[in-house]
Amino acid sequence: MQKGGKVGLRERLHEYFDDYYFGVGRRRRLKLAIITTSVGLVSAVAILVFVSNNRDTSRSTVGATSPTSFPAGGATPTTGTSSSSATNSSAATSPAAPSDTVGVSATDEVSGTTDVVATSASSAVGKIGASTTSVGSSSSTADPASGPTAPVQAGPYATLPDGQPVPVVAVFDTDTITLTGTVPNQAAVDRLSVLAAANSQTPAYVITNLVVNPAVPINVGVRVIELNSVRFPNASAVVLPEHAKELDRVATVMKALPNVSVLVIGHADQRGTEAGNFAISDERARAVVNYLVFVGVRADRLSSRAVGASDLLAVGNDAASLELNRRTEFIFYGLLIAG
């Protein structure tokens, strides 16, 4: 009986443990635990492999040559310095073939223009001593020595009937500025190139056709011809708001350069009588002088002259040509004097 009882208890215990560990519910939970553990292990292995590969890739790029690195022996870039600025400036100011200046040459009758187009005269003064020209939408600065060198010409220089030297002519067009005439030295070439580029309404190439003649006085005048400036209405000497904005830029230049004086020359188109054209051109010149005095330019730095229709920029009778001739022009004296 005891043996039978012991055997029965053992069997019952085996059945109990078999059912406990390997029953239906337990087997399901065991399978779920095995699957979960396997997925976790696979994920951990995958993460370790990914991290290891990234570390290896990072180490392999250390010390690699950058695509923007300079070639051996080349210039090393430094903060705030462009190694290409001198090249750009030289290309922008290199002399080009003489261009058409709308019938105006350095030997024409003396006159000026309404517009210096000085958007920042003070910045232009600060740049003198470095040749600055604007190319497209970018600007570049270089040592003046790297800019265009004007040819040297000895002997007498051209003069006006009153004995004054013929003014230098600066023609401002949409994308070009053409400088023509005779100046006393290379420094004057550099200074005028700087001022022309800095005072252009739009980014423009500077075409330098200047000649150096040491006999020319340093205070030679500079006649500025702006081909795109606002003109006076027909038979009017009224300074309109659009015109006043351009005259404000002239005033800014004069205030920034206290050694400069200006001759304002009034013009008329070719219609009307000689006396009537002279009268309206005189009124226009005086109106401009009065406006400049009103905005703060000293009167003793300004003078005026009327020339009627004797100095036309365009000879056509179309509306555009007639408008081009209804203008005032400026001649700047002392513009090439440093300081």
Residues 44-103: tens digit of each pLDDT: 777 776 666 655 444 443 333 333 333 333 333 333 333 333 333 333 333 333 333 333
More confident position, 225 or 303: 303
- How far are the Cα atoms of 197, 200, 239, 264, 293 from residue 299, in angstroms, in the given order? 28, 26, 18, 12, 6
β-partners of residue 303 are 263
Checking if the pLDDT of 262 tops 80, the result is: yes
**Given this model, what pLDDT does residue 143 score?**
43
CB 328, CB 284: distance < 8 Å: yes
**Given this model, what pLDDT does residue 126 score?**
37
**Given this model, what pLDDT does residue 199 score?**
84
Please tell me the least confidently modeled range out of 23-37, 124-138, 173-187: 124-138
Amino acid residing at 12: R
E strand map for the chain:
131-135, 138-142, 168-172, 176-183, 205-212, 222-226, 261-266, 302-306, 328-333
Residue 106: Cβ within 10 Å count? 18
- What is the mean predicted confidence (pLDDT) over 192-214? 91
CA distance 101 to 178: 8
Cβ neighbors of 24 (< 8 A, separation 6 or more) are none
**Given this model, what pLDDT does residue 319 score?**
92
**Given this model, what pLDDT does residue 98 score?**
33
Phi and psi dihedrals of 123, rounded to 5?
-70, -35
Please tell me the least confidently modeled range out of 21-35, 153-167, 283-297: 21-35
CA distance 165 to 333: 11
**Given this model, what pLDDT does residue 211 score?**
96
Secondary structure class of 177 (helix, strand, coil): strand
More confident position, 147 or 291: 291
**Given this model, what pLDDT does residue 220 score?**
97
Provide the b/e sequence for 305-337 (b: ≥16 CB within 10 Å). bbbbbebbbbeeeeeeebbbbbbbbbbbbbbbe
More confident position, 242 or 67: 242
Residue of 327, 239, 228, 328 lying closest to 291 (CA atoms) = 239
CB 6, CB 12: distance < 8 Å: no
Upper half-sphere CA count for residue 20 (Cβ side, 13 Å): 6
Confirm whether pTM is higher than 0.85: no
CA distance 195 to 179: 11
CA distance 301 to 9: 130
Q: Mutual orientation of helices 274-294 and 241-256 as an angle, nearest 10°?
A: 60
CATH of region 95-333, choose from 3.40.50.300, 3.40.50.10140, 3.30.1330.60, 3.40.50.10070: 3.30.1330.60
Q: How far is CA 322 from the centre of its chain?
A: 32
CB 193, CB 179: distance < 8 Å: yes
More confident position, 18 or 141: 18
Checking if the pLDDT of 28 tops 80, the result is: no
H helix and E strand count, the chain = 8, 9
Residue written as tokens 């990234």?
54
**Given this model, what pLDDT does residue 339 score?**
65
Tally of residues, the chain:
339
| Domain segments of the chain as ranges | 2-51, 95-333
SS3 percent helix, strand, coil of the chain, rounded to 5, is 40, 15, 40
- Pairing status of strand 222-226 against strand 168-172: parallel
- Pairing status of strand 261-266 against strand 302-306: parallel
